Structures are given as C-alpha cells and as structure tokens.
Structure 1
Amino acid sequence: MSKIHILNGAQPYEFAPGKLNKTLAERAKATLEAQGHEVRLTTVAAGYDVQDEVEIHLGGCGPSAIPGKLDGCAVVLQEIHG
C-alpha cells in the first residue's frame, strides 16, 4: 500500500484550541492505517524537524535521504481552522 503523510497545520488559540483538526487528523490516520496504508502524522503546533519535513515534501523520503523515514511518500495537507 501507499505511504501517506498528514500535516495538521492548525495553530491553537485560547478561543480555538484545534480539537476539530486533531480529531480529523487522527481519524484520517486510523482510517488509512486500517486500509493498510503506512501513515505519518505531523502536528505543526507540537513541533517538527524542518529538514525532515522538507525532504518528505520534496519526495526525498527514501532511506538515503532520511534513515528510518517513509519511502515514496504521498502527501496529504490538512489545514482546517476550527
């Protein structure tokens, strides 16, 4: 199956803590994994390694680019404010 990278780009605020985004991203991940896909979820507000994310976005997901990371990634961008 394919390898999928979900980015939860929500930025939480006191009046909008990002619960909807978190729920949607987690549910998408669980659904896709149940279908046999390998899924990586990055939550921007929780922090991330910039170089890893750039390599994944550019398609350099192979073992030579980032050991232990996804190879041949499909990228799903999620940026729903809620």
Structure 2
Amino acid sequence: MQHFQGTSKFGTEAKEILALIEAHAGSRTEELVSSLHELEDDDARAEDRLTAKQRLKNFLYYVGGQAGNLGTSLLQKYLELRLGLGGGS
C-alpha cells in the first residue's frame, strides 16, 4: 500500500512495520498507518508519539503471537529507539 502519502521516506524498519500492518491489521490498518506516520514525525507532540508507539507495540505483540516471531522483537526495539527510550517500555 505505497499509496499512503509519505511512506516512501520511511526507513527499513518502518517499512517492515508497514508491511506487517498491511498484512495483518485488517480494519485497524488506517489507524496503525497513521500511528506509524506520527511516530516517524519528529515534530509531532511527544504525547502523540508515545500513544502511537504504544498502539504499534501492542500490534506487534499481537502479530508476534498470531504468526510466530516475525522479527517483531527487533521492530519493537526500533519503536523504543525512535523515541530515544533505549530498551525500556
């Protein structure tokens, strides 16, 4: 779904999360893609980025549980690093 505006600027990890969203999010696709954009936007409010990170992290836990570990732990680590939080939640 490269038709979502701005996804061409995503890095490798964000594109991997986008692919998981497209494959597994169903009716939540739009919400989660929006969250991914928010997380990637360094100018977004910190509170909004934290909320977006939590939505995406919950989604990755869900996907990891449903489809086995699809590298979701590495993508979860990426979410933490995007916010400068290191390895904590």
State the TM-score bracket (shorter-chain normalisation): 0.3 to 0.5
Q: Which has the higher helix share?
A: 2
Q: Which has the higher strand share?
A: 1
Q: Which has the higher contact order (CA 8 A, sep 6+)?
A: 1
Higher Rg: 1
TM-score w.r.t. the length of structure 2 is 0.34
TM-score w.r.t. the length of structure 1 is 0.36
